[in-house]
Amino acid sequence: MDISRALYLDDRDSSIIYYSMTDDPQVWTNVPGAAGFEFMGTTTVAEVAGAAANITFTGSDITVLGTISPIQYRQPPSVTFTLDETSPYTFQPAANNDSQPQYNVTFYQSSGQLGTAPHTLRIVTKSAGAFWLDCIVIRGSPTVLSVAPTSSTADTASTSQGTPAPKLPNSTATSASSHGAVIASGILGGVLFLGLLFGSLYFFHHRRNSRVTKSFDAPEDPGVIQFHGNTTAGTIASATSPTSGPSSLPRTTVTQPRTRESKQRASLGPHRDSPPAYSNPIA
């Protein structure tokens, strides 16, 4: 067999279609492999029943390689390999009693010479356990075709590997219009916010000015007499109101109370008695 014409497919190759036959779509997990022991240093593992994978190809031979983990980790599961419409082949590896994993184990190899027509190999785990898929080797003018699973369960299932999402028509225009709507909404919201802000500031400023004006224009208390005009010493200013003209209040005479000092000064005033008579010493 011509080794130079062999095609090696890593477990991450997009031509391998991973999917789930259970309610859990995440049944496959991509993990880093053992560098130098596993192809491309990667591996993909499934640990539940119902994990499936399809590969459609042309070639004369196909081989599936993988890893068997130590028994203390997990028991390897039972796996079926179905090529086209032939009967499934069940692989149940023996338990690995070593402390180290077993690498490059042949899980499946087609028998006989395959025709030139496209072929599909289907892999399904039938029990719980660690199924480590490393790579697939196709020989004899090999090519691969990315064909989705045909079962209804596989059509609706998703996997951790994932497949490219279908492109929606006019996705660019829809995205641009949605971005434009978001920008327009942001501008409109900013204008409304600024309008409310300036309106609030104007309202409070106008209200404050109204209060100040009212405080200056408040009517005077009619019970308080205010003096208007100039007053001079020795006179009593007339009490008038600034709005009603001269006051009608009666004039009153202010009499200063007499103190003890004023009484004493009154007693020292001039006497009208005749002066005393003195004798003339010369006569």
If you average pLDDT over residues 6-22, what whole number do you get?
Answer: 95
Residue 65 contacts residue 110 (beta carbons within 8 Å): no
19: left (phi over 0), alpha (psi -120 to 50) or beta: beta
pTM of the model as a whole: 0.52
Q: Is the pLDDT of residue 121 over 80?
A: yes
- Per-residue pLDDT tens digits for 221-246: 555 445 444 444 444 444 444 444 44
Q: Which residue do the tokens 């971005």 mark?
A: 179
Residue count of the chain, please give it.
Answer: 283
Q: Is the pLDDT of residue 143 over 70?
A: yes
Residue 47 contacts residue 41 (beta carbons within 8 Å): no
Report the distance separating Cα 91 and Cα 83, nearest Å. 14
Strand partners, 124: 52, 80
- For 251, the 3-state DSSP assignment is coil
Q: Is the pLDDT of residue 131 over 70?
A: yes
- 243 Cβ contact partners less than 8 Å away, ≥ 6 residues apart: 220
CA distances from residue 2 to 7, 65, 117, 139, 257 in whole angstroms, order as listed: 11, 19, 20, 8, 145
CA distances from residue 230 to 233, 238, 245, 250 in whole angstroms, order as listed: 10, 10, 16, 20
Predicted confidence band of residue 94 (pLDDT cuts 50, 70, 90) = confident
- Per-residue pLDDT tens digits for 25-36: 899 999 998 888
Q: What tokens does 271 get?
A: 């006497």
Q: What tokens does 71 get?
A: 């028994």
Q: Is the pLDDT of residue 274 over 60?
A: no
- Per-residue pLDDT tens digits for 34-48: 888 999 999 999 999
* More confidently predicted of 197 and 167: 197
CA dihedral (71, 73, 74, 80) positive or negative: negative
Q: Is the pLDDT of residue 151 over 50?
A: no
Average the pLDDT over each of 4-8, 163-167, 220-224 and give the range with the smallest value: 163-167
216's enclosing H/E stretch is helix 171-216
